Amino acid sequence: MGLATPLSVAAAGFAGAGVPVFPCAPGGKHPITEHGFHDATTNLAQVRQWWRRFPQANIGVPTGRPSGVVVVDVDVHGVNGFAACRRAKEAGLLSGWEVIVRSPSGGLHAYYPTHQSAEQRSWQAGLAGIDFRGDGGYIIAPPSRRAVNGELTLYQMTAVSEAPGKALDATMLRDFLDPPRPPRPRSYRGNGELDVRRIAEWVARRPENERNHGLFWGACKLAERGVGQAEAFDVLTRAAMSAGLGEREAARTVRSAYRTVNDGHVSSGIAAVDTEEFAVSVADSPAAIVRGLP
């Protein structure tokens, strides 16, 4: 998909596939219509009218329930979000993506299906350089384009998963990227033993697809309550192993959780994440991203 692909054709393709769209400023991100993403529609007549009037308009897609997709937006402005992205991926928090898009600035958009029953509001984890586009937000979709260093550059889809997409646990991802800090540390006394036992029992009951996520959450909670890492490491590692998690993976997850809480935020150091790490297959056609959308 190149610069020769008319934006009007792509916008109509989205609408025809049941994905609502709305026009944004040519080469930019701001909505053109009066009500912004609230004006998004799948009505082909309206979509064609918009792009006849604004043939170079970028394509906006509302995220969350209106479109059926949510997006993890990895930024490179100010804080480089790829370091946090790598850590979240290693913690098992980014699996289940359907489509990967490279933004003109070099950032990354990972598309996921929405939860069927739960609203997922948009949020920002500024210290990590990652935003979540859910209900109440929108994303600029390929083949939209922006001027970068004087050159017109595409939002380019780089991968489409062959596996079925899975809904993202956006709350757990946010807690990982921007963990809430307790008002003051509490020592491991009194009710601390009860906290450890309850959380360990909860971790031990996690099903296969929640073991790593649950262990990370539990370790973060114990760290916030002032439970020493050595004690948490011993108790939670045993609990995770009883749930079927490997000892090495469990140990790594507990250490990562304590590091995250003690640092206060995920490291913002620059580290590249190759899109191929996410890729199952690579597609390069206008229809491919539509196939990736529910």
Q: Longest C-alpha distance within the chain, in Å?
A: 69
Question: What pLDDT is attached to residue 46?
Answer: 98
Closest CA to 280 of 98, 147, 103: 98
Q: Which of 108-117, 130-139, 173-182 has the lowest mean pLDDT?
A: 173-182
- Mean pLDDT of all residues in the chain? 82
Q: Tell me the pLDDT band of 181, cut-offs 50, 70 and 90.
A: low
Q: Which amino acid is at 55?
A: P
Task: Taking residues 95-110, report their average pLDDT.
Answer: 94
Q: What are phi and psi of 39, to 5 degrees?
A: -85, -5
| Confidence check: pLDDT of 41 > 80 | yes
Tell me what the mean pLDDT of segment 171-188 comes to. 67
Residue 251 tokens, joined: 């140990």
Please determine, for residue 193, whether its predicted confidence score (pLDDT) is greater than 80.
no
For residues 255 and 93, give the distance between their C-alpha atoms in angstroms, rounded to a whole number.
16
pLDDT tier at 192 (50, 70, 90 boundaries)? low
Distance CA 30, CA 232 (A): 47
Domain map (residue ranges) of the chain = 7-176+273-292, 180-263
Average pLDDT over residues 175-190: 59
DSSP secondary structure string for all residues of 204-224: HT--GGGHHHHHHHHHHHHHH
* Residues 75-87: tens digit of each pLDDT: 987 788 999 999 8
CB environment 31-56: b (16+ within 10 A), e (fewer): bbbeeebebbbbeeebbeebbeebee
With beta carbons less than 8 A apart as the criterion, state whether 219 and 257 touch. Answer: yes
* Residue 14 pLDDT greater than 90, yes or no: yes
CA distances from 102 to 24, 72, 195 (A): 18, 12, 43
Mean local confidence (pLDDT), 63-85: 91
Kindly tell me if the per-residue pLDDT of 265 is higher than 60: no
Looking up tokens 């939670």 gives: 236
Tokens of residue 276, six digits:
């191929």
Computed from CA positions of residues 225, 231, 232, 238, in that sequence, does the dihedral angle turn out positive or negative?
Answer: negative
Model confidence over 274-285: pLDDT tens digits? 443 443 332 333
Look up residue 156 and give its two tokens. Answer: 């380019």
Identity of the highest mean pLDDT range in 147-161, 194-208, 226-240, 249-263: 147-161
Question: Averaged over 104-118, what is the pLDDT?
Answer: 91
pTM, 2 dp: 0.66
Residue 134, pLDDT above cutoff 60: yes
Mean pLDDT check: name the lowest of 18-22, 101-105, 112-116, 240-244: 240-244
Question: What is residue 5's predicted lDDT score, i.e. its pLDDT?
Answer: 76
Distance CA 274, CA 282 (A): 13
What single-letter DSSP state applies at residue 153?
Answer: E
115: tokens are 């939860």
